Structure 1
Amino acid sequence: MNKLSFKIGVLFFLAIFLLESISMFFLHNTIIHSRVHDELSALQTRGNNHREILEAAFHEETIKHIALMESRTDTQVILTDQKGKIVMSSNTVTRNMRKIIQSAPKKVPHDGLILEEDWQREAYIASVSPIIINNEINGYVYMFQNTQKIKDLISGLNRHFLLAGVLSLLFMFIIIIFLTRFVTLPLIQMSEATKRISKGDFSVSLPKLRKDEMGELGESIMILAHDLELLKNERDEFLASISHELRTPLTYIKGYAEIARRKDTGVEDLDKYLGIIHEEAVKLSKLVKELFHLAKMDENNFSIEKEPVHLRPYLLGIAEKFSLALKENQMELVLNCPDDLYSCLDPIRFEQVILNLLVNARKYSDPFTKIMIDVSEMNSKLHIKVADQGKGIPEKDLPRIFERFYRVEKSRARALGGAGLGLAIVKQLVEAQGGTIHVTSRPNVGTTFEIIL
């Protein structure tokens, strides 16, 4: 993860450095161009001002006055006649100045023009303005400025840009450190959390999560850890329950088989022991069968074949199959189902659901009570309720009754032959057919399972 921090930091640095370099380059060039243009414009304007004064009063006193003014500035004025002969100069005329004057074009617009603007290679920048009196050129005003002033200005500007660039890089470096830490610290914490999860430690906790994609990822990891912890606990409980449920009948079978093998065992006792062995073998077979069903459902390795089913005859057929078991307990089954209701479901799988609920209701109800199957349609959904008048389920146990091997009263359930898998199978079969199942119960009043399709 430190490598990730470094990579993100380098990426941020290169991106911002490139953006800042391009911005600084264009800003630097724009400012330099603007400053040089201002100097050239100011020089040409100054020459035009002198030209206007001379056009208004072209005599020796005016010429001396202009020369005196320019001698005290950082610019130099040179006045020539129409043939290019120097008439006046505010300072010494250098060879470079003469060269620039000689290179001046013959035709110069009245507003003047820039003769030399290469401030980087030449000693002077220069402009020329023609003096026109009575529509005739009487001479030219040449303005010169040493380029050292511009170079000093640009040099100072470069120093400021360099200082600004260094400060920007330093500030950018600090920001990137905090930014990469802000981005990668949660990732580092999540990496540590996932490592602990991979080692089987699900008691992970992450700091206060941000409300962004990073926070969503952290929340997903927390949910994953919680789900894995629940899965581990359920697996351990499941394995313990399987071990117990298999051990009990196997212990009976092994124990009574050893007794039956004794030579001193009488015929009557032998029949009794063989009966117990057969009973425990049946329980074991039923348990293995239920586990097989659950395994196939977990792997989605079983098929649901739906077809239109006329509910009233269908449920009456199931009730008829279950009537003998109810007579043994002196119980009554009441079916309330309109004759015009149809549903698209898997009749074989759904029969298993109803029978499991009826078996569950019979086990935990007293004789001379009723089991009711009530079917109705509401909001285009089919509601099937299986209710008993048994002792009910405590409220604290209701959320867990669909868990595998979970039993409200373990001793009584084991005595009645239950392994705690029936309702788990019911829930998965209902959900496999696109439905839901809910349970409500009141102690000593009864329990109602409601299937919604």
Structure 2
Amino acid sequence: MIKALNLSFKNRIAFNYIISSAVFICIVFIFIFQVVKYSVNNHINEEIYDELTKHLDDVSTDDNDTYLIQVDQWRAREHNSISVNPVFVQFYDVNGDEIDKSPNLKGKNLTLLDEANNDKFVNSSLNSIPIRQIQTPILNNNKVVGFLIVAMSMEDFEIVLILKNILYITFPLILLLLFLIARFFAGRSIKPVQTIIETSNQITRDNLKTRIPLPQNKDELYILSENINSLLNRIENAIDREKQFTADASHELRTPLAVIKGTMEVLIRKPRNEEEYKEKIRFCVKEVDRLNKMIDQLLLLARFENQKQNVKLESIYLNALILDNLARFSEKSELKKLKVKTYFTEDFYIQSDTYLVSIIISNLISNALKYSNDRGEVNLHLHKQQNEIIFTIEDHGVGISEQSLNKIFNSFYRSDVSNHPEIKGTGLGLSIVKRLSDLLNIKILVDSKLNQGTKFSVIFKD
């Protein structure tokens, strides 16, 4: 129903408040009306019954069923005035003939009802005036010899009708007043929402610096504004990373393509001998291989960007996984005549994704071998400390400067390239390690000194 009305948020709040208020006020009004109605009815009935009791005391009968009515006492009670809460009294014999009646009835008579209505309060009318009456039989030796009827004007009951009309009139007026008041305060309450809307309209892809002002009261709207600001921070950081990544990827992909193109152009300028062609072709193949490797790594980064649903948890025998990855680089370590030593204190098992953990370990081993000096040494340690399993890989190679340590996990960043042009790479390996470690809740620590070596620590939760 509310949706059909297509109300604004402010009016919906006021409308819902009015619906609940209307139900509550209606219940209160009905309760008040019923209490007043019951009280007035009860009051009239009590007065009529009191009069009935008094007049029964004024009536006596003899052995011949003759009425002896104490008229002086009756009239002494001032029943002659019709202006002050009049009480009407009338006596009938057993045949329904009138015996006597109060003077205020004048030419009118109270209606004698059938015996089924004896001792019951009945609403009737007298000369178009609403009355309530009760009739009771007059007994003589348990024999009905007549009837006494006592009636009273229902003018007191008019207060109930007046109250009913007042409630009917005031009910919609109160609801209207409450709606306006609720709408006013709802407007003030949702003012921060309007601020959120206005601020959100100012935020675009090119303008992510704007933030929603936080309300003074730390309520739900404060939490909403704070969460939206946090979301904007994450979006801004993601877009900044995307822009930087796109710029870096564009540059890094363009470089090998330009090299391949330049090499091909040199080849076709003039005839070459077979050896020159082979040399240039081998060079182009290496560049293509490097390009393919870079694209694979870029796709890997894109594939596992916060994709927790792709993680497949399983039990991993960590010792074997490290040794398997180490075996893949045996040719490289032999080429540089490196001494690779492993120190495993015991067998270790973890719950994680085998494929992703293998990529992390593979990249770290590759880096350690790549940046080690010829005939150097690489040490791999696997041990447990409290509730953590720690894998460390330490080389004694070129090391990383202190200024570069906080940049090594950035995509395409390569430390000290100019001094080591012989070391090839894409600058994506450690970025992949960091991204996958965050995805798997694995902590990565690095400690390095320039020209002394680097130590990476991979910390798994037991």
Scaled by the length of structure 1, the TM-score of the pair is 0.73
Matches of 1:180 and 1:28 in 2, distance apart?
Answer: 30
Q: What letter is aligned with 2:113?
A: A
Contact 1:51 1:129 in 2 (8 A): no
Q: 2:388 touches 2:459 (CA, 8 Å); kept in 1?
A: no
Match of 1:354 in 2: 361
Give the corresponding residue for 1:447: 455
Local SS of the residue matching 2:77? helix
Measured after TM superposition, the shift of residue 336 of structure 1 is 0.4
Tell me, in whole angstroms, the C-alpha distance in 2 between the residues paired with 1:182 and 1:219. Answer: 20
- Of the candidates 28, 44, 47, which is equivalent to residue 40 of structure 1? 44
In 1, Cα distance between equivalents of 2:382 and 2:141: 118
CA contact (8 A) 1:249 1:284 kept: yes
Write the distance in 1 (CA, Å) between the matches of 2:289 and 2:122: 116
Match in the other structure for 1:206: 212
Q: Which residue of 2 aligns with 1:311?
A: 319
Aligned 8 A contact 1:47 1:128 in 2: no
SS of 1:239's equivalent in the other structure is: helix
Partner of 1:104: 113
1:87 to 75, 79, 100: 100
| Residue segments in structure 2 that go unaligned for 5+ positions in a row | 61-67
Cα separation, 2, equivalents of 1:154 and 1:395: 91
Query: Which of the numbers 138, 147, 167 marks the counterpart of 1:161?
Result: 167
Q: Is the 8 A contact 1:13 1:176 kept in 2?
A: yes
Give secondary structure in 2 for the equivalent of 1:74.
coil
Q: Identify, as 1 or 2, the structure richer in helix.
A: 1
For residues 127 and 302 of structure 1, do their structure 2 counterparts lie closer, same or farther at Cα, with a shift above 3 Å needed? closer
2:231 to 208, 224, 229: 224
- Alpha-carbon deviations, 1:113-149, whole Å to 9, x = none? 4243579x75322233556677677865543333344
Aligned-partner residue type, residue 50 of structure 1: K
Picking from 426, 431, 438, the partner of 2:444 is 438
Deviation at 1:229, TM superposition (A): 1.7
Q: How does 1:317-336 map to 2 (within 5 A)?
A: 318-319=325-326, 322=329, 325-326=332-333, 332-336=339-343
Contact 1:393 1:443 in 2 (8 A): yes
On the 8 A contact 1:331/1:367 being kept in 2, the answer is yes
**Equivalent AA in structure 1 for residue 132 of structure 2:** I
Identity, in percent, stands at 19
Is 1:143 matched up with 2:150?
A: yes
Question: Are 2:61 and 1:66 equivalent residues in the alignment?
Answer: no
User: d(CA) in 2 for partners of 1:447 and 1:26?
Assistant: 82
**How big is each residue's C-alpha offset from its partner over 1:234-254, in whole Å with a ceiling of 9 and x where there is no partner?**
111111001111233334444
- What is the CA–CA distance in structure 2 between the aligned matches of 1:249 and 1:43, rounded to whole Å? 112
Q: Identify if the C-alpha distance between structure 1 residues 415 and 130 changes in structure 2 by more than 3 Å, giving closer, same or farther.
A: farther
Report the 3-state secondary structure (helix = DSSP H, G, I; strand = E; otherwise coil) of the residue aligned with 1:123: strand
Closer, same or farther: CA 107–224 of 1 in aligned 2, 3 Å: closer
Matched with 1:247 is: 254
Kept in 1, the 8 Å contact 2:48–2:152? The answer is no
CA distance in 1, matches of 2:348, 2:266: 57
1:240 alignment partner AA = A
Instruction: Summarize the Cα distance change of 1:293–1:166 in structure 2 as closer, same or farther, 3 Å threshold.
Output: closer
The correspondence for 1:238, drawn from 239, 245, 250, is 245
C-alpha contact (below 8 Å) 2:134/2:151 kept by paired residues? yes
Task: Give me the whole-angstrom Cα distance separating, in 2, the residues matched to 1:305 and 1:48.
Answer: 93
Q: CA deviation at 1:91?
A: 1.9
Cα distance, 1:74 vs. partner?
1.5
Q: Pick from 395, 411, 421: which aligns with 1:404?
A: 411
Tell me how far apart the structure 2 counterparts of residues 68 and 380 of structure 1 sit (CA, whole Å).
Answer: 102
CA RMSD of aligned residues (A): 4.9
**How many equivalent pairs are there?**
442
Structure 2 residue 194 is matched with structure 1 residue 181 = no
Between 279-288 and 302-311, report the one with greater CA deviation: 302-311
Say if 1:40 and 1:439 are closer, same or farther in 2 by CA, change over 3 A: same
- Native 8 Å contact 1:393 1:441 kept in 2: no
| CA contact 1:197–1:225 (8 Å) conserved in 2 | no
Letter in 2 for 1:284: L
Give the SS at the match of 2:104.
coil
CA distance in 1, matches of 2:429, 2:232: 29
The match for 2:54 is 50
Change (3 A) 1:446 1:89: same
TM-score (norm 2): 0.72
Q: 1:305 & 1:40 partners in 2: Cα distance?
A: 84
Letter in 1 for 2:91: T
